[in-house]
Amino acid sequence: MTIIRRLTLIRALSALLVLAGTGIAAGPALAANTIVVDVATGKVLSESNATQRWYPASTTKLMTTYVALKALQTGEVSADLPVVMSRAAAAEPPSKMAYPAGSVMRLDVALRMMLVKSANDVAFAIGQTLGKGSLEAFVDRMNAEAAALGMRDSHFVNANGLPAPGQYSSAKDLAILAVALRKEFPAFSDYFSTEAIAVGKGTMKNHNGLLGRYNGADGMKTGYICASGFNLVASATRDNRTLVAVVLGAEGPIVRERTAAEILENGFNTNPRSIRDTVADLPVSSGPPADISAAICSPAGRTARANERQEEDKREDTFGSPYMTDLQRTAVAVPVDLGGAAGAPGIEAGTRLIAAYGIPVPTWRPARPGEPGFDGELPVGGASGEEHPASPAPAAETAAAGGE
């Protein structure tokens, strides 16, 4: 029996034991699909059901990021490219930044918002902007890049990972993507390791619980919709050796992070020279992606996650993992905000995008001091008139829409 097969059996048994402890009925649909790959060699250090098609949820945003970083690296666009929030983008459900239509931000800022907050509206806006007004054109580009990378079990229909027919991937394919991101764009690695963003007076933390808690953790992206369960693409570096791990279908964020820490630790303790198979050697799957909505978003599933959070407060080990520690400091936040876009061609492109997709309909407001028609009285609530606040209140997250 090969090392990979032995580790696969161990992970499958561990998944069943974890599920038994949550009160959710154990079964193949809920067994977390996992893989660990050595970035330098492409060797598969462990895997479990890594080729099964799965809903990627917000890990889709890594593919959106890949297309954007390739455009940046080739000089097609600059970090100052204006990303415009169209009406369609602003209407996307949470998780989101909730900026109004017509808002403009730098591509650099938009990428950080998308990767840290997992902002669906910003991902949509990035797609439209890089697609020159057409999200469909951008998605075609996502699929072309995925095919070029060898992601044969993946197909994308949007830029943010919200539920949609025909959108699927696999642990294997997401590992291929993660390896490509780490190898092709080392200069942009800080996008994935950003612990938090500071927006106005507020701070939004990264959903990736490994950052700052697992030794060497340095990326990449979480994902969650009811159909997928809790997903994570994670990377970690120790002694100049980088591994990527993918966990799909975990029944909660705590179990997801715990699983990722465990398989990464096993990976660092595995000598890649003893492994023959690379991620490219794994077979291609077929059929529709698994849908575990009935278990994940059932009353029993929600209760199990609530119980897990309560148990977390009682544990000595962070997330119940001997490989993780509590974050003993404040998460490092990178300031982000609207505006700051530069470059006449980009501004013109952004203006055309606004024209194509509409801007907010103007509404009447009282005249302000110094304006024609001001009668000396201020309206109730003062005269700040922040119609496009730089730090909107975080939108409520919904389980079905993709809260990570």
Q: Is residue 399 part of a domain?
A: no
| 58 neighbors 118 (Cβ within 8 angstroms) | yes
Q: Is residue 393 part of a domain?
A: no
Q: Is residue 231 part of a domain?
A: yes
Please count the structural domains in the chain.
1
pLDDT in 10s for each residue of the chain, 404 residues: 444 444 444 344 344 333 434 333 333 233 479 999 999 999 999 999 999 999 999 999 999 999 999 999 999 999 999 999 999 999 999 999 999 999 999 999 999 999 999 999 999 999 999 999 999 999 999 999 999 999 999 999 999 999 999 999 999 999 999 999 999 999 999 999 999 999 988 999 999 999 999 999 999 999 999 999 999 999 999 999 999 999 999 989 988 999 999 999 999 999 888 898 999 999 999 889 999 999 999 998 888 888 877 776 666 566 678 898 888 888 889 999 887 665 434 444 444 454 444 444 333 444 444 444 434 433 333 322 222 223 233 333 344 546 67
Query: Domain containing 62 — which CATH number?
Result: 3.40.710.10
Q: Which residues are catalytic?
A: 58, 61, 118
Q: Is residue 29 part of a domain?
A: yes
Residue 185 belongs to what domain range? 3-336
Q: Is residue 280 part of a domain?
A: yes
